[in-house]
Amino acid sequence: MPDNTLSARDLSSGYGERMIFQGLNLQIPAGRITAIVGANACGKSTLLRTMSRLIAPKAGQVLLDGKSIHAMSPRHLARTLGLLPQSPIAPEGITVADLVGRGRHPHQGFLSRWTARDDQAVAEALQATGTQDLAERAVDELSGGQRQRVWIAMALAQQTDLLLLDEPTTYLDICHQVEVLDLLVDLNRARATTVVMVLHDLNLAARYADHLVAMRAGSIDAVGPPDQVLTRDMVRRVFGLDSMVISDPASGRPLMLPLGRHGVAQPAARSA
Amino acid sequence: MTLQTTLTRLQTARHRRRSAHARAVAGLSAALALAFLITLCVGQSVTPPGDVLRVLAGIDVPGASFTVGQLRLPRVVLAVLSGLSFGLGGAAFQVMLRNPLASPDIIGINAGASAAAVFAIVTLSLGAPWVAIMAVVAGLAVAAAIFGLSFGDGISGGRLILVGIGVSAMLDSAIAFLLAQAPAWDLQQAMRWLTGSLNGATLDQALWPALALATCGSLLIGQRRGLEMLRLGEDTAAALGTDVARTRLIVILTAVGIIAVATAITGPIAFVAFLSGPIAARIVGPRGSVLIPAALVGALLVLAGDFAGQFLLPGRYPVGVVTGAIGAPYLIFLIIRANKTGAT
Ligand SMILES: Nc1ncnc2c1ncn2[C@@H]1O[C@H](COP(=O)(O)OP(=O)(O)OP(=O)(O)O)[C@@H](O)[C@H]1O
Ligand SMILES: [Mg+2]
């Protein structure tokens, strides 16, 4: 029985000659929800793409249950580990049902065709994301938020034990953001799916994740439970932003209040 | 809505999609069969279909055996084989690179194969197998050069298309140069290697394109699910278990193979590779792979273009002139649209 532990060992990755991170070590807790936070361009997507075999590492390894994922067949890996990229591309004119159905690709053998299990998985994914009424619509005619939920449905239809999502809440209004995150928690509770997601909203990350990873310029700045990671110092180091961190009365988790130069009683100094 | 109703709806929609695709393929196949027969029956004179079928069955029919068997049949067979090759290979490139402008005839692969064929035939006086081999090697070399030169911009970048258009223009002038150097310069030859022509087709020429289609063509069609996944972009395709590099390599090798072999015989029939995919996509809609429909559309285009060039237009024109006249406006339209949306 695989326990689905994913880890990066001395991992270096980048594009062409350019290294984005070097010698990075990271352990993703199995069966938990991990959120990765960090400033734009610090390498979050690159990390996720390297950990899901989309980029070959320059050095080091990504291990899934002790085996290097780069030694596994792509189809085999895709049955265990799913990734929703940051800006996926929908083919022109494709319908929602067709797109979500593509999530079943790794489960279909070379000869075996579509089965009742595939239908079931697609229907469940549509229901879970509330996109069942859109099933026959063309994806390019949907709003940004509807489209985002359809992409999440595609990742759900893949039914993997590990699910990596690169900014799954972009384009979503606050209600749908919360819905998507709730959905990921449901998935995590019901199937023990290991979830790793890049989030920009620190407070939602602290609220929903069991494990927080803060990245800064290609290295890991802090890692651990949200109340240890989301601190005023971390926010200053990682984002160069002054802030207040209080206890969220709704959850008991940390809540970060940014202090900019305007709109607050005690504005931040110009160069914090 | 309950899970059960969603499930039922999904199943009906899927069946509808499947049968619509099957209907489109069946319709195109029927149209091709009909066009095949019509072009065998009709020429300077009209041969009754009964006589045509008898000639095809190998029975000697006085008055028809020569016209149908010797004049029309080779032309029509080569039209179908080259059309299938250009249509299939062109659509494969367009789907793989997610861009209708990334068609082998726009980015110089056809021109490369053609230049090699001219060199082999006109300059070196080589025989058919060598011509085909040189055309394939040149087509692959052009593909390697274009992908190499546009590296770093991502494989589907606009740079690839611009580089390809430049390479294509250079190869066209190389063809003109080789033809001008040739001892027996003639207009027919020049037309063939610059725009494609079926003049002087013989049945034994059909062997190579038929073999290429049977081998490379079927391998390429075998990649259609991988190609469909590539339409989601490299990242999503790879995340869903597609071996992106392998799929691309097989597609490039096989598509260049069939296109180069067809080009070695008919010349680079203008814009058939470029037009077939988009026309087929219009017909089948976004319902699964466009490869087989595009091959059928390609064959129809070449058959109809050659027929029009011979009998419907005032004067006689090689097929490439006719297909070129259809393709050029579409190319202009695409370039204007790409300019407007800021994407190539
Ligand atoms: N395909 C690529 N080719 C070359 N460089 C790239 C590529 N993708 C990203 N980069 C570079 O790598 C660095 C890290 O990018 P990455 O996408 O990992 O950042 P990120 O943390 O996900 O940022 P964001 O929050 O904006 O999504 C950036 O400097 C970016 O310019
Ligand atoms: Mg990113």
In chain A, the domains with their CATH numbers are: 1-80+161-174+189-241 (3.40.50.300), 88-159 (no CATH)
> Which of B12, B241, B224 is closest to A159 using CA atoms?
B241
Q: What is the pLDDT of residue B344?
A: 45
**Confidence band of B273 (pLDDT split at 50, 70, 90):** very high
Complex-level ipTM: 0.90
Q: What is the pLDDT of residue B316?
A: 86
Share of chain A above pLDDT 90, in %: 80
**Cβ–Cβ of B6/A132 closer than 8 Å?**
yes
Q: Which of A11, A13, A15 to mutate to test the pocket of ligand 1 (most atoms within 8 A of CB)?
A: A15
Q: What is the pLDDT of residue A115?
A: 85
Residue ranges and CATH numbers for the domains of chain B are: 99-268 (1.10.3470.10), 270-344 (no CATH)
| Residue A65: DSSP 8-state | T
Least confident of A73-87, A102-116, B298-312: A102-116
- What is the residue with the minimal CA distance to atom 29 of ligand 1? A41
Mean predicted confidence (pLDDT) in B291-303? 97
| Residue B48: DSSP 8-state | -
B106's tokens:
């726009």
pLDDT of B129 higher than 90: no
Q: What is the pLDDT of residue B149?
A: 82
Q: What is the pLDDT of residue B152?
A: 59
Which is more confidently placed, A35 or A116?
A35
Q: Are the C-beta atoms of residues B230 and B237 closer than 8 Å to each other?
A: yes
Q: What is the pLDDT of residues A33-73, one digit of tens each?
A: 999 999 999 999 999 999 999 999 999 999 999 999 999 99
CA B287 to chain centre: 21
Cα gap A79→B21, rounded to integer Å: 28
**Confidence band of A270 (pLDDT split at 50, 70, 90):** low
Cα gap A182→A126, rounded to integer Å: 15
Average pLDDT, chain B: 89
Mean predicted confidence (pLDDT) in B250-270? 94
**Cβ–Cβ of B231/A78 closer than 8 Å?**
no
Confidence (pTM) = 0.90
Torsions phi, psi of A224, nearest 5? 150, -165
Q: What is the pLDDT of residue A1?
A: 47
> Which of A19, A22, A24, A54 is closest to A36 using CA atoms?
A24
Q: How far is the centre of ligand 1, averaged over its atoms, from the C-alpha of B44 (Å)?
A: 65
pLDDT of B4 higher than 50: yes
Which residue of chain B is at minimal alpha-carbon distance from A135? B10
> Which of A174, A216, A166, A222 is closest to A196 using CA atoms?
A166
